Amino acid sequence: MNLPTTLPLTDTESGHRLDFLLVADMVEPGSRVLDVGCGDGALLSLLRDRRGVDGRGIEISREGVNACLAKGLPVIQGDADTDLADYPDDAFDYVILSQTIQATRQPRVVLEHLLRIGRRAIVSFPNFGHWRVRVDLGLRGRMPMTENLPYSWYDTPNIHFCTIRDFVELCREVGAQMEKAVALNAGGQPMRVTLPWWVWNLFGDQGVFLLKRR
């Protein structure tokens, strides 16, 4: 399997990734969900077991697809950049893009497809505006490598990084309404919602957005 594009934190008690638990909380029980870039199916099985969702997935790696099959998850080997166009409008209640948008060739097109295929979209991504990233680039003059983003610039699958503010701007451009926005700190915990955007953008490790077509 491809290495995960990022290396996220897990809940010590349940063993589930903290960002997955946050995403699961955004999904209405019993809904239809498409997870784009579903990896080994960890989020999909969490959604199935905890929220009773009817989940589907797209995954580019064969190993990932086989791991999903073994979990009984209907997952299609495919590429978010090319295969989303084949899905009909409003086919799902939610389309999830978890830690994947930065690895797509055309993030804007992908986001537009998410909003077309799903009544809602949930997008999570590593925040390239985080202060440590800024320090690496601004002070050290090096492409950032952090615990969550462990790749060298030349072998990273992450080709379209953005900051939380960048993503908010993209949402505005494609006409997506933000129903919920959460920034997770380096400990994987949600930051207080009362904090201003610039604090999220500086101290948020990841952004998680619940979006709706306007």
Partner 1 sequence: MRFGPDEPLMMDAGIALAPWQIAYQTYGTLNAEKSNAVLICHALTGDQHVANDNPVTGKPGWWLTMVGPGRPVDTNRFFVICANVIGGCMGTTGPASINPATGQPYAVDFPVVTIPDMVRAQAALIDRLGIEKLFCVVGGSMGGMQVLQWAVSYPDRVFAALPIATAARHSAQNIAFHEVGRQAVMADPEWRAGRYLNEGTRPSKGLAVARMGAHITYLSEVALHRKFGRNFQDRAAPTFSFDADFQIESYLRYQGIAFVERFDANSYLYVTRAMDYFDIAAEHGGSLANAFKGTPTRFCVISFTSDWLFPTSDSRAIVHALNAAAASVAFVEVESDKGHDAFLLEEPEMFAAARGFIDAAARVRGIA
The interface mask with partner 1, positions 18-57, x = CB under 8 A, is --------------x-----------------------x-
CB of 83 to partner 1, least distance (A): 8
CB of 200 to partner 1, least distance (A): 36
Within 60-119, which residues bind partner 1 (CB under 8 A)?
A: 62, 65-78, 86-88, 91
HSE-up of 46 (CA within 13 Å, CB side)? 22
Within 144-173, which residues bind partner 1 (CB under 8 A)?
A: none
CB of 102 to partner 1, least distance (A): 25
Best CA proximity match to 6, nearest among 211, 208, 165, 213: 208
Sign of the four-CA dihedral 158, 5, 18, 112: positive
Taking the least distance from each CB to partner 1, the nearer of 80 and 149 is 80
Taking the least distance from each CB to partner 1, the nearer of 45 and 102 is 45
Taking the least distance from each CB to partner 1, the nearer of 61 and 156 is 61
CB of 74 to partner 1, least distance (A): 4
Best CA proximity match to 119, nearest among 42, 179, 38: 179
CB 120 within 8 A of CB 211: yes
Q: Which residues of 161-194 are buried (b: 16+ CB within 10 A; e: fewer)?
A: bbbbbbbbebbeeeebeeeebbbbebebeeeeee
Q: Which two tokens stand for residue 79?
A: 């590429």
Residues that bind partner 1 (CB under 8 A): 32, 56, 62, 65-78, 86-88, 91
